[in-house]
Amino acid sequence: MEIERKFLTKEIPFAITAYPCLQIVQAYLSFSPTIRIRQSNEDYILTVKGKGHLAREEFELPLRKEDYERLFLKTEGTPVRKKRYLVPLEGGLTAEVDLYEGELTGLMTTEVEFPSLEAAESFVAPAWFGKDVSENKAYKNTSLSLYGMPKEE
């Protein structure tokens, strides 16, 4: 089960490059159901996601680079490219700050994954996180892949 909240971040009040960074490319084999392949640095992953916003089923399998490259040829939409910075938070949580690249340059979001729905619902985000867009489909990576940059909020 994946339980996460997503925020539309406008600016970060510290040097983000001081934190670990993942270079991510993800593309979609299917949008319904959501079947995604992702390269995260040197790791390759196939993910199947269920329906939902705040909480949904998620299943991941590692891929070999060769399998990822073959599957990539069968993807739909535009691949989503981003740098993900991992910023530790209180309570053992991590803020995943995504700086999008390519057609989505200028978009920045922050996601936090939670161990329970209660933890997600009671979480008080720092002001710099920005507006909570967890329920806004336009900011889901599937929508970004299909439709590009969302209209300004």
Give residue-wise pLDDT tens across range 103-128.
999 999 999 999 999 999 999 999 99
**pTM summary value:** 0.93
Give residue-wise pLDDT tens across range 14-36.
999 999 999 999 999 999 999 99
Q: For this structure, is 19 an active site residue?
A: no
Of 123, 38, 130, 148, which is closest to residue 84 (Cα–Cα)? Answer: 38
Burial 5-20 (b: 16+ CB within 10 A, else e): bbbbbeebeeeeeeee
- pLDDT, the chain, mean: 95
Spell out the residues 6+ positions from residue 11 whose beta carbon is closer than 8 angstroms to its own: 128
State mean pLDDT over 75-92.
97
Q: Check whether 43 has a pLDDT greater than 80.
A: yes
Kindly name the residue from 19, 28, 44, 139 that is annotated as catalytic. Answer: 28
